[in-house]
Amino acid sequence: MIQSRTHNCNELGIGDAGKKVTITGWYENLRKVSKTLGFLVLRDFYGCTQVVIENESMMETINGINTESTLSVTGTVRERSSKNPELPTGDIEVVPEKIEILGKCIYNELPFEIQRSLEADENARLKYRYLDLRNPAVKDKIILRSRIVSELRKAMEDQGFLEITTPILTCSSPEGARDYLVPSRLHEGKFYALPQAPQQFKQILMASGFDRYFQIAPCFRDEDARADRSPGEFYQLDMEMAFATQEDVFSVLEDVLPPIFAKYGKYDKASKAPFKRIPYREALEKYGTDKPDLRIDLTLTDVSELFSDCGFEPFASGNVIKAVVVSGFEGTRKVIDKLCADVEVVSGAKPYWFKVGENGELAGGIAKFLQDRASDIIEKLGLSKDSFVAVAAGNRNQAYKTGGTLIKMLGELAPSHMDKEAYEFCWIVDFPMYEIGEESGELEFCHNPFSMPQGGMDALINEDPLSILAYQYDLVCNGVELSSGAVRNHDPEIMIEAFKKVGLGEEDVKAKFPAMYNAFCYGAPPHAGIAPGVDRMVMLIAGTDSIREVIPFPMNKNAQDLMMGAPAAVEQKQLDDVHIAIVRNEENDN
């Protein structure tokens, strides 16, 4: 053993009774019974061992040591008179003859109690992350992450993929999010960019003759934080396949992911291949979102014609109206009111409701507006005496968003409609190639600009751009988007035509993507890929709602590393070396 340690704090058992041992670790606590008797808990990476203090001299030694100091304890193992069956070392204790301080904790009080760090303020946890990570409940998630990454690597290698690392310092390219820029010292006024993803490099690898590439890739995007997104940096299982179709990519991940989720997950049930395929537009119509949680069996029904012009203003002609029918929902009026309020906060629009009463009549909520068409409503929606109906209305996008939020929240409130203890995967396919940008009002790429349009050059020339579908796909699990992927546009002529639609000509393509464009001009194979987020996968597997819980040293919601003090000011000489002058914004200063 290292550091003169004969055993770790999780391996001594009854068979070791009578042995002289040395264990090391953190002084977790002391239960003091008297001046001559106390029970000390020593904790290391592996677990805990009880050390029993039985004389006044040893007790005086311990009294002068703060908890969370690191100690070396040498003594004899003996059987405990009062065993702890919940502890792997609960059959024994160590009677010390020597206690040595290896690393002193100089503070009498800690920022938070180690074993209860999950209850502390998140910023305090992140500032003192080294203490937070001592909590076994926190540490175990990082261990889990390591094991999952190891399994992913092995599974990809078993599939014939070669791990190749791609550059961190590269050039800026328009990929949807803000770049992190790095000024060049040698080339004044020019900048490197940290990669948002290894997108261009992995496609160039395919043009270079590599058949199957992967890496656990670090990616950098200057984005705001969310529960399922960490600002700054994240990791993804990046992969690309030459001479591959969409189905080839699906086949690989359907083979790789379910066993890992089932082995390490909070739930041992995961979708088996093939995962359900749902076209993008169908997903919006049926679930109100392109990230459906298939553990919930609720769906949306279009009732626009049936409900419109009933005298209720939100159902005026021209609005899209979607209904969610829930059987067996026994929510009280208080529960229903809270549901509506919560949905409005999330979706930005108020939902409506009614139910079927004991006599088969429509009752509650907006029922009074629907009485003249009650029989048609009951028939079309298949309502019974225990039916509850939630309704979303507005323009198409708003009705989708409100309806999707209703499904998610009703699934939580109606347990019979949600199988919580499972991992349900699906593919969202057939994304539009183009869309009208909300801010610009102009035609823009809907997702990845490097995707191959369905129909190829013929579709680009002869079809309405908004009707063109792309070979793009998302992988979704339990309502969380794990990844986007695509069959790539490897044909330079098709690529130029695709970019023309969004106002970028051939020279723009050559200027923005010179290496990839030129590589494709030397004969590129058809290729496809995807990049599931490692952090999100571990978050789902661990059963936690916050992605920061599965990242060793995460930033906070404001993209700050409170432990290291980043971002931070630098010295003027450092700025001068890279030709940077800081111009203060007077409004921000005020």
* Whole-angstrom distance, CA of residue 430 vs CA of residue 471: 6
261-311 residue pLDDT tens? 999 999 989 999 999 999 999 999 999 999 999 999 999 999 999 999 888
Strand order across the 425-429 sheet: 162-163, 212-221, 232-242, 527-530, 480-487, 472-477, 425-429, 276-279
**Of all helices (H) and strands (E), which one includes residue 437?**
none
DSSP result, 388-413: EEEEEEESHHHHHHHHHHHHHHHHHH
Task: Kindly state the greatest CA–CA separation across the chain.
Answer: 92
Measured between alpha carbons, how far is 424 from 478 in angstroms, rounded to an integer? Answer: 6
For helices 333-347 and 396-413, angle between their N-to-C axes, nearest 10 degrees: 140
pLDDT in tens, 479-536: 999 999 999 999 999 999 999 999 999 999 998 889 999 999 999 999 999 999 999 9
Which amino acid is residue 413, in one-letter code?
L
Q: Are strands 162-163 and 181-183 parallel, antiparallel or unpaired?
A: unpaired
Instruction: Kindly state the tokens that stand for 550.
Output: 């599965």
Task: Write the CA distances from 285 to 288, 299, 404, integer angstroms.
Answer: 6, 9, 10
Tell me how many degrees the CA angle 297-298-303 measures, rounded to the nearest 5: 150
Q: Token pair 């970028």 is at which residue?
A: 504
For residues 580 and 214, give the distance between their C-alpha atoms in angstroms, rounded to a whole number. Answer: 36
Using DSSP bridges, classify how beta strands 212-221 and 162-163 pair: parallel, antiparallel or unpaired. Answer: parallel
Contacts of 446 (CB under 8 A, 6+ apart): 431, 432, 433, 434, 435, 470, 472
Domains located in the chain, CATH noted? 2-103 (2.40.50.140), 138-168+196-271+425-553 (3.30.930.10), 296-417 (3.30.1360.30)
Side-chain half-sphere exposure of 304, counting CA atoms within 13 A: 13
Mark out the alpha helices in 32-73 (DSSP H runs). 56-63
Q: What residue type is assigned to position 248 of the chain?
A: D
Structure confidence at residue 173 (pLDDT) = 76
The pLDDT assigned to 1 comes to: 45
pLDDT in tens, the chain (590 residues): 456 899 999 999 999 999 999 999 999 999 999 989 999 999 999 999 999 999 998 999 899 899 999 999 999 999 999 999 999 999 999 999 999 999 999 999 999 999 999 999 999 999 999 999 999 999 999 999 999 999 999 999 999 999 999 999 998 876 667 899 999 999 999 999 999 999 999 999 999 999 999 999 999 998 887 767 788 899 999 999 999 999 999 999 999 999 999 999 999 899 999 999 999 999 999 999 999 999 999 999 999 999 998 889 999 888 999 999 999 888 889 999 999 999 999 999 999 999 998 888 999 999 999 999 999 999 999 999 889 999 999 999 999 999 999 999 999 999 899 999 999 999 999 999 999 988 888 999 988 888 999 999 999 999 999 999 999 999 999 999 999 999 999 999 999 999 999 999 999 999 888 999 999 999 999 999 999 999 999 999 999 989 999 999 999 989 999 999 999 999 999 999 999 999 887 665 55
31 closest CA partner among 52, 55, 57: 52
Cα(452)–Cα(340) distance, integer angstroms: 42
**Which residue is it, tokens 């990839």?**
516
**Nearest to 151, CA basis, from 272, 39, 265:** 265
- The reported pLDDT for the residue numbered 151 is 97
Give ∠ CA 91-93-97 in degrees, rounded to 5: 160
Assigned token pair, 384: 């019974």
This prediction's pTM: 0.91
